[in-house]
Amino acid sequence: MSTLTREQVFDQLAALGLASVRMSFYGGDDEGDVEDVKYLDDNGHEINVEIDERSDLYEALCQPIYDRYGGFDGDPEVWGELVWTVADRSLLIEGSEKNWESFEAVL
C-alpha cells in the first residue's frame, strides 16, 4: 500500500506534465489486475512516461481499484477504467460489474 496522499499523487502527476491517467482493469474469480495505463497530456495525446510498477506513485494510482475490489476475490466479475484528472483533481471509476451492470462513481 502506498504512503502517498491523493494530493501528493496529483502533485506528482502535474510535475510530470500529465493532464490525466487512464487505468483499465479487469478481474473476477480471485484474479484481476490493471491491464493498461495511459498517461495523457492536455490534448488527450498519450505521453511516454516511465513510472515503475513497483514505485509508490504507481501503487497509489492503483489503490482506488484495490480499495474497491480487493484482490478481486470471489465470484464478481468486473471490468472498468479509473481516470485521474489533474486539472480538477478528481477520480472517476466506471465500467461493469457482475451481470454486466454498468456503474460510475466519483471517488
Q: Of the candidates 24, 21, 25, 10, which has an alpha carbon nearest to the alpha carbon of residue 84? A: 21
Q: Residue 41: which residues within 8 A CB-CB, separation 6 or more?
A: 17, 18, 19, 47
Q: What is the pLDDT of residues 15-26, one digit of tens each?
A: 999 999 999 999
Q: Is the pTM of this model over 0.85?
A: yes
Alpha helices, DSSP H only, in the chain?
6-15, 56-69
Q: What is the pLDDT of residues 32-54, one digit of tens each?
A: 889 999 999 999 999 999 999 99
Cell of 40: 495523457
